[in-house]
């Protein structure tokens, strides 16, 4: 079933909306083993969303293990496989946001996480509830990994989720396209996928 990405099905965005910008960091933007090739392509749209309401933006940052083999359970194996992406190998500066977005802090906030989801290691839900937030606009990467975990956690907690279709990126075109189809067709009552322009027109 084709969805209209030029329409917010459940109405305009209110002041109860917040923008979660997922993992727009140097370790994914630069020449590393985790480089997301088309992050540069979506950066202008992400920038527009952040610039609209910086004080209503939360940047998440994925923090890798300090060294190879660190972690619990499968995360240990993960960092044996990706030893080149540990902080020891990369240097601490690579966890930073890309420069264009880092300039918005403050007033934008940052939330660090060691797993794909921002919901487990933080008080994110409590903070959003304290601010009476009911809608989350989500951008960033990767569509099929950390964005997916962010979306599913938001859905489980009852948030309306609005995905900026042209402000999402992945290192796999096939997985990105499949994830978008899942968001549109399997979560249609909780997730809306629209273009950045539609969000900006509504989020005033």
| Tokens encoding 11 | 């109405």
What are the backbone dihedrals phi and psi of residue 20, each rounded to the nearest 5 degrees, phi first? -105, 115
Considering its fold, how many domains does the chain have in total? Answer: 1
Other Cβ atoms within 10 Å of 56 Cβ, number = 20
pLDDT for residue 204: 86
Does the residue 173 lie in any domain?
yes
User: Residue 197: which CATH number?
Assistant: 3.40.50.850
pLDDT tens-digit profile, the chain (204 residues): 556 778 899 999 999 999 999 999 999 999 999 999 999 999 999 999 999 999 999 999 999 999 998 989 999 999 999 999 999 999 999 999 999 999 999 999 999 999 999 999 999 999 999 999 999 999 999 999 999 999 999 999 999 999 999 999 999 999 999 999 999 999 999 999 999 999 999 998
Range of the domain at 60: 17-65+93-202
Provide the whole-model pTM: 0.95
Say which residues have a Cβ less than 8 Å from residue 61's Cβ, sequence separation at least 6.
Answer: 23, 25, 95, 96, 97, 110, 111, 112, 113
Does the residue 6 lie in any domain?
no
Region of 73 (left: φ > 0; alpha: ψ -120 to 50; beta: rest) is left
Show the beta-strand stretches assigned E in 25-169. 57-62, 109-113, 135-141, 160-169
| Tokens encoding 84 | 């080149």
Does the residue 184 lie in any domain?
yes
| 90 sits in which H/E element | helix 87-90
């Amino acid at each position: 079933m084709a969805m209209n990405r030029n329409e917010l099905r459940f109405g305009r965005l209110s002041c109860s909306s917040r923008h979660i910008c997922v993992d727009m960091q140097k370790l994914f933007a630069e020449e590393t083993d985790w480089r997301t090739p088309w992050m540069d392509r979506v950066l202008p749209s992400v920038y527009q969303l952040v610039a609209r309401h910086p004080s209503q933006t939360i940047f998440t940052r994925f923090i890798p293990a300090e060294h190879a083999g660190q972690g619990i359970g499968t995360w240990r194996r993960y960092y044996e496989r990706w030893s080149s992406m540990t902080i020891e190998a990369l240097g601490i500066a690579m966890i930073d946001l890309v420069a264009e977005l880092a300039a918005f802090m403050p007033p934008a906030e940052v939330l660090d996480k060691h797993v794909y989801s921002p919901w487990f290691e933080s008080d994110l839900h409590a903070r959003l509830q304290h601010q009476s937030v009911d809608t989350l606009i989500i951008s960033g990467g990767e569509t099929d990994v950390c964005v997916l975990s962010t979306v599913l956690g938001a859905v489980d907690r009852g948030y309306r989720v609005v995905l900026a279709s042209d402000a999402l990126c992945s290192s796999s075109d096939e997985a990105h396209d499949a994830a978008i189809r899942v968001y549109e067709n399997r979560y249609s009552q909780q997730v809306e996928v629209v273009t950045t322009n539609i969000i900006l027109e509504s989020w005033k």
